[in-house]
Amino acid sequence: METIKPHGGQLINREVVGEERQDLISRAKDMPQIVLNAREVSDLEMITIGTFSPLTGFMGQQDYESVCKNMHLKSGLPWTIPITLSTSKEVADGYKEGQEIALYQTSEHLLAVLTLTEKYTYDKEKEAQHVYRTTEEVHPGVNALYKQGEVLLAGDVKVVNHPLNVSFPEYRLTPTQTRQAFAEKKWRRIVAFQTRNPVHRAHEYIQKCAMEVVDGLLLHPLVGETKSDDIPADVRMRCYEVLLENYYPAKHTLLSVLPAAMRYAGPREAIFHAIMRKNYGCTHFIVGRDHAGVGNYYGTYDAHYIFDEFDPAALAITPMFFDHTFFCRRCGAMASAKTCPHTSNDHVFLSGTKVRDMLQQGEIPPVEFTRPEVAQILIDSMKQ
């Protein structure tokens, strides 16, 4: 029982096995080698397991330019974030089209072989402006972009080994596995929730609102590369576990991790996150306030408005938009501006800075803001 077709119609799998795998491993010793950084390892894994379907490798120039300028692949399929592999000009000058290049995680751990179809130069500032809406280096996505090499390498990949030291293996479900899980649970309508932070009461409220109209929730925290000041993934995972154990019905929830890297691309990343969850088999995707935002680079609801720029039939996953939510003392319940007539004086809202200060002092924020079990995990992590 398939709930939704993958993006582009087919779930990609770039892992090779058997004799083909052994042959590639043997021949890789004589190939030129590239050691990937953490983001590139993550992107390779996402290509491998089909999270980035329909991509079968790193983008060529036509796809790259179309994505940057038009937010679509050259085929016309919606896609908003370039997936590229860079190197220096000096290294790229030594490569020829058609050549095989071995991709390593470390100098000893082979991951994949790329068949080079194209190498091309690109304008980093143009990409920054298109994708991140800024060229400022303090933006974490732009900063990562500016550190890339001057030449991009394109080509399909064949993957022979999984990455080393993967986090949360028990929760690391592939798109094939989540689709199987949904079928076993007999879920036809599945909503995904993207998070890189612990879930507080406002998140819980919008998740449960969404759950009222679907069969199940995929709580899908991103555990790839994030900003240095984001809460560590292992702490976040403990928060999710205790929250699901105490406040969510097990038959309608599934916790799995997304090993993708954060881009902090705001509206474009909202579309990108939706496409990925479509590949995992979800039919709906929650888009909240300032989705994938950082600093003041994006408007509060820009991640909602960008969906208007796409053909719903081409995206083929239903966004569920939620306003900023809070606890209203007069309503005696969680609410938003759509449902609450009262002033901000009646609303329990704590800034991130205020919450951090309270936690560092060992104070549990009010239950209207966060579940005490979650707060205790955060307090304990700050003592370590």
Q: Which residue has the tokens 């501006």?
A: 337
The pairing of strands 216-221 and 190-195 is parallel
Strand ranges (DSSP E) for the chain? 33-35, 57-58, 85-87, 100-104, 110-115, 118-121, 151-159, 190-195, 216-221, 253-255, 284-287, 318-321, 325-328, 333-336, 347-348
Report d(CA 59, CA 52) in Å as an integer: 11
Q: What angle do CA 263, 122, 262 make, to 5 degrees?
A: 5
What sign results for the dihedral spanned by CA atoms 219, 222, 227, 230? Answer: positive
Burial of 235 (0-12, 13-18, 19+ CB in 10 A): middle
In this structure, what DSSP letter does residue 235 have?
A: H
Query: At a CB cut-off of 8 Å and minimum separation 6, what does 17 contact?
Result: none
Task: Give, for 359, the enclosing helix (H) or strand (E).
Answer: helix 352-360
The pairing of strands 253-255 and 216-221 is parallel
Catalytic residue among 13, 197, 289, 356: 197
Cα 61 from chain centroid? 23
Question: Is 289 a known active-site residue?
Answer: no
Catalytic residue among 14, 133, 179, 196: 196
Report d(CA 158, CA 166) in Å as an integer: 19
Report d(CA 286, CA 292) in Å as an integer: 12
Residue type, 181: A
Q: Which of 112, 109, 50, 66 is nearest to 85 (CA)?
A: 112
Question: Is 197 a known active-site residue?
Answer: yes
Query: How far is the CA of 301 from the CAs of 287, 297, 305, in angstroms?
Result: 9, 12, 7
Around 123, how many Cα atoms within 13 Å sit in the side-chain half-sphere?
A: 10
Which residues are annotated as catalytic? 196-197
